[in-house]
Structure 1
Amino acid sequence: MSASANKQIVQTFFDALAAGDIEKMKSVMARDFTWTFPGSTAISGTFRGHEEIFERFLPKVAEYVDMSAGLGIHIDQVIAEGDTVVVRYRGEMTGKFGPYNNRYCHVLTVRDGLIRGTEEYADTALVETALFGKKLE
């Protein structure tokens, strides 16, 4: 598929994520989708497949983020080359222990019209303080 088509698939994914539309998210995700959140936080790790992502990873995140107002996702840049799409965006949410306004970079792989996986990069110190209430020294 073209870079433009891959960008549109990724845009659909992020629009659905912001709206909490799980079925729409699943419609553009491969069944064996892999979501990696590097680091050593309580939500860090690699999650594989729809079941693990939607029944383990995202519900765990939801325990620490107020999703009642939706997720404020503001995309700053989308870059695509071949099967790779990179998205830089700002998130505006409320964490369990304070404002959670993080900056993100996702590196996604899109093949045959589906997203195969993403590596999500964010400020893990902010994750620790705003979501888990840890005091950093």
Structure 2
Amino acid sequence: MSTNSAARTIAERFLTAFQAREWETLRALLADDITWTMPGEGTISGTIHGAGAAVARARQIADQGLRTELLRVLVGAHGVALSLHNTATSPDGRRLDEYLATVLTMRHERITAIDSYLSDVDGMSSFFTAP
């Protein structure tokens, strides 16, 4: 299997595990020293470190009823960018409707970094606020 197809496979497994809420499967794809950077001022914003923290962030995002649509998988020299469309509605009526690129940097068939780029940082920050 080529490096490009291995990276694509890992990215697809990452997204499938997230959508299915299979947290142990997601954890197995992550390097122990992973970092995940998210812009904005919401409860999911900032940089977190470690696989446990990355899974906790994924759970926090998923717990808000997020629907994720995969638009494109873009393969690079050191990983993959997932072009996504996220939507959700909170119980109090707040709505999330954003496009994003989730960039997965990989080493030795593990995800070592996740960098999220959003079309509506303020909207994400408003949606993901402390109750």
Question: TM-score normalised by the shorter chain: which range applies?
Answer: 0.7 to 0.9
| Secondary structure of 1:42's aligned partner | coil
Give the residue type in structure 1 aligned to 2:20: A
Question: Is 1:114 paired with 2:115?
Answer: no
Counterpart CA distance in 2 for 1:76 and 1:49 is 28
User: 1:100–1:131: 8 Å Cα contact kept in structure 2?
Assistant: no
Matched positions, count: 127
Counterpart CA distance in 2 for 1:36 and 1:99 is 22
Question: Is 1:95 paired with 2:96?
Answer: no
Corresponding residue of 1:125: 122
Corresponding residue of 1:22: 23
Corresponding residue of 2:11: 10
- Decide whether aligned partners of structure 1 residues 121 and 95 sit closer, same or farther in structure 2, where only a CA change above 3 A counts: farther
Provide the identity percentage: 24
TM-score, normalising length from structure 1?
A: 0.79
| Secondary structure of 1:82's aligned partner | coil
Corresponding residue of 2:73: 78
1:53-72 matches, cutoff 5 A: 53-55=54-56, 57-58=57-58, 60-61=60-61, 65=64, 67=65, 71-72=66-67
Alpha-carbon distance, 1:118 to partner: 0.7
> Unpaired segments of 5 or more residues in structure 1?
none
> Unpaired segments of 5 or more residues in structure 2?
none
Give the residue type in structure 1 aligned to 2:17: A
Alpha-carbon distance, 1:60 to partner: 4.7
User: 1:93–1:101: 8 Å Cα contact kept in structure 2?
Assistant: yes
Deviation sequence 1:27-86 (CA, Å, 0-9, x none): 11111111110233332111111222334x3455467x2x3xxx4211111111221211
